[in-house]
């Protein structure tokens, strides 16, 4: 979308809000900060990934987002690249955000020594590995794509579930099974469906957030991407799916659901993060740095 068309749509949205308020309808857009894959490491750059630069990018992100009136901030996974000690530099910066910060688990968050993995949630301040956040008439369902993975700790039952899933993907010549991806287990799938049923009944609009994309390039998809999508598109309450992991970013609409893959902060010397404004009929994404602006009408 070119800049002139985007500006026109933003103006239309503004006047729509203005006139509705004048008619006595109270409209309170939900505003979010979105960032992903800051992936800090005190190590040399590799290709376009400038790991050590992520700290100054985070500092800039904190300054900009704290100056806005946001309801929440979501980081879509991969706070660090490797080395448990990297959390000592990253977590204090996340604690400087004024709005509540909601974290999504990424594959690199678990790329730490084995003895630190069981205590990861406590270290980064997560109470649950998947959960729900409600803001006005929006529900944000945060999924754990490391549920079935090669990096997170799993019991024997989950390992077997992962192996069966990966074997099925391999047999169908799908490359989702590659070790930097992950999957959603049966228990979490059942929990998700209960959340969607309740959201439909409560007339809530839903955005699902997970580290791993469903349909993107270069084999960075969730192990069971098609299974998950076959579930969520049946529920009209689902308006969008937000993810990271594939650092180049991506967007597509499928069956009325906006699939937004945000760009990774760690790549290049330029920052990447967003402010997302949610209204009754639209998702407006204001990108900073490499992240593009988007105006998305919801079904």
pLDDT, one tens digit per residue, over 182-196 is 999 999 999 999 999
Residues 236, 200 contacting (CB under 8 angstroms): yes
Question: In the predicted model, what is the mean pLDDT of residues 112-134?
Answer: 97
CATH of the domain at 153: 3.60.21.10
Residue 13 lies in a domain: no
pLDDT at 22 > cutoff 50: no
Residue 4 lies in a domain: no
pTM, full prediction: 0.91
CA-to-CA distance for 2 and 277, rounded, in angstroms?
19
Residue 191 lies in a domain: yes
Residue 23 lies in a domain: no
Percent above pLDDT 70 for the chain? 91
**Helix, strand or coil for residue 12?**
helix
Residue 8 lies in a domain: no
Residue 156 lies in a domain: yes
Residue 1 lies in a domain: no
- Return the ∠ at Cα 296 (arms to 294 and 299), rounded to 5°: 165
Q: Report the half-sphere exposure of 143 (CA within 13 A, side-chain side).
A: 35
CA-to-CA distance for 223 and 238, rounded, in angstroms?
21
pLDDT at 89 > cutoff 70: yes
Instruction: Provide the token pair at 280.
Output: 């009754």
The residue written with tokens 């509705």 in the block is 20
Domain that holds residue 100: 29-297
CA-to-CA distance for 270 and 65, rounded, in angstroms?
17
Structural domain count, the chain: 1
pLDDT tens, position by position, 143-183: 999 999 999 999 999 999 999 998 888 777 777 888 899 99
Residue 190 lies in a domain: yes
Neighbours of 190 (CB within 10 A): 10
CA-to-CA distance for 44 and 215, rounded, in angstroms?
31
Ramachandran class of 164: left when φ > 0, alpha when ψ lies in -120 to 50, beta otherwise: alpha
Of the two residues 17 and 48, the one the predictor is more confident about is: 48
Question: In the predicted model, what is the mean pLDDT of residues 229-237?
Answer: 97
């Amino acid at each position: 979308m070119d800049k002139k068309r985007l500006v026109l749509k933003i103006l239309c949205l503004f006047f729509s809000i203005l006139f509705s308020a004048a008619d006595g309808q109270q409209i309170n857009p939900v505003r979010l900060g979105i960032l992903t894959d800051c992936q800090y490491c005190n190590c040399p750059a590799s290709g376009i990934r400038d790991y050590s630069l992520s700290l100054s990018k985070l500092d800039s992100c904190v300054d900009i987002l704290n100056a806005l009136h946001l309801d929440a901030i979501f980081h879509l996974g991969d706070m660090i690249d490797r080395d448990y000690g990297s959390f000592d530099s990253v977590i204090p910066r996340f604690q400087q955000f004024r709005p509540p910060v909601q974290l999504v688990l990424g594959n690199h968050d678990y790329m730490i020594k084995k003895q630190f993995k069981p205590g990861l949630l406590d270290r980064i301040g997560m109470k649950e590995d998947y959960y729900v956040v409600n803001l006005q008439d929006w529900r944000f369902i945060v999924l754990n794509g490391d549920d079935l993975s090669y990096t997170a700790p799993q019991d024997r039952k989950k390992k077997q579930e992962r192996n069966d899933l990966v074997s099925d993907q391999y047999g169908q010549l799908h490359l989702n099974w590659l070790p930097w991806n992950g999957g959603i287990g049966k228990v979490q799938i059942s929990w998700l469906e209960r959340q969607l049923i309740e959201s439909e009944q409560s007339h809530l609009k839903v955005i699902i957030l997970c580290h791993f994309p469903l349909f993107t390039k270069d084999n960075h998809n969730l192990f069971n991407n098609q299974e998950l999508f076959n579930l969520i598109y049946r529920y009209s309450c689902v308006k969008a799916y937000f993810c990271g992991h594939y650092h180049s970013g991506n967007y597509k609409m499928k069956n009325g659901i906006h699939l937004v893959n945000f760009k990774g902060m760690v790549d290049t010397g330029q920052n990447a993060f967003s402010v997302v404004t949610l209204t009754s009929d639209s998702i407006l994404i204001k990108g900073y740095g490499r992240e593009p602006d988007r105006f998305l009408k919801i079904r």
